[in-house]
A = this chain, B = another copy of it.
Amino acid sequence: MALSLANLSINQATLRQQCSLDQAITEISEAGIGGIGIWRDKLHETGVSQARRLIESAGLKVSGLCRGGMFTGEDPALADTLSASAVFEDNKRAVDEAAEVEAQCLVLVVGGLGPKSKALDVARTAVADGLQKILEYARNAGVVLAIEPLHPLYNADRSVVSTLGQALDLCDILGEGIGVAVDVYHTWWDPDLEQQIKRAGHDRLLAFHICDWLYTQRDPLLDRGMMGDGVIDLEKISCWVQDAGYSGQYEVEIFSKFDWWNRPAKDVLEMCASRYRECCPH
């Protein structure tokens, strides 16, 4: 008997070019998959209330909302640096949206240095300050925050938090209501990964993102691989995460402008399910 897909979730980025949120909900649900990770731009297109109705009626769990953060005011998608108050306002909206769609967590990408700064310490202080401020708001809204350390490759433009250890150091300072999102693409290289996953434990492992790192990449951002097509030992990392007490869904997040974004959604989801069964321990 084929394994249930209730514990599998598809991050919308995996179907970014094929599907609106409405379409993604339908496709994922029809594939028998249990969850969805939602992106805010797609959520705004559909409208939050409408999205909530569709998700409920499809019976999907929302494994995470992407994304809050960008506390340094530097977002590569924007032409300018945002003020701390503008960043805070946007994060409040993200928390409200996460509450409304009942996301398991709001995923935070903390922000990079930006093109004009060299001051990593200043950026990291801005991140700690921004986290503290939004955490209070999130606690009141009943939303759990998940810091997602990004690969050191993105230190300049997306995240000055590069390791799980760094993210957990922040969690230690901040206290209740905040944990981490572990993405194998960002963390697989880290010699300290097993130990930091243990350190995180059940209470702070809030999301687990899977895909693969292709040996030869055509783009540093948009050429992620399907599970099994690259060099990541997904079975081993999955075991570490499970042994540490993670009980949430496995969320597939594949940015793939050369390959998976150009295939029909049904085919992509079929492959996600098949590779999830092959590569992840159950």
Contact = CB atoms under 8 A, between A and B. Distances in A.
Given A115-B215, A217-B220, A120 B233 contact: yes
B166 A191 contact: yes
A119 interface: yes
A7 interface: no
Nearest to A169: B191
Interface string A180-212: 000000001111000000000000000000000
How many copies of this chain does one complex carry? 2
A157 B213 CA distance: 11
A29 interface: no
Interface in A149-169: 151-153, 155-157, 162-163, 165-166
Nearest to A191: B166
Interface in A130-158: 151-153, 155-157
Given A163-B191, A220-B217, A117 B231 contact: yes
Contacts of A217: 220
Contact of A189 (B115, B119, B152, B191): B152
B190 A152 contact: yes
Contacts of A119: 233
Contact of A115 (B157, B220, B231): B231
Contact of A231 (B124, B153, B156, B233): B156
Interface string A79-113: 00000000000000000000000000000000001
A32 to B, nearest CB: 28
A241 interface: no
Contact of A162 (B165, B191, B236): B191
B156 A153 contact: no
Contact of A118 (B115, B118, B220, B233): B233
Nearest to A151: B152
A9 B162 CA distance: 31
B232 A118 contact: yes
A152 B162 CA distance: 10
Nearest to A187: B152
5 contacts: A115-B231, A120-B189, A152-B153, A156-B213, A162-B191
Given A155-B189, A156-B213, 13 more contacts: A114-B215, A115-B215, A118-B232, A118-B236, A120-B188, A124-B191, A152-B189, A153-B220, A155-B188, A156-B231, A162-B189, A162-B191, A166-B191
State the 8 A-B residue pairs at the shortest beta-carbon distance, nearest first: A155-B189, A118-B233, A115-B215, A152-B189, A156-B231, A152-B152, A153-B153, A166-B191
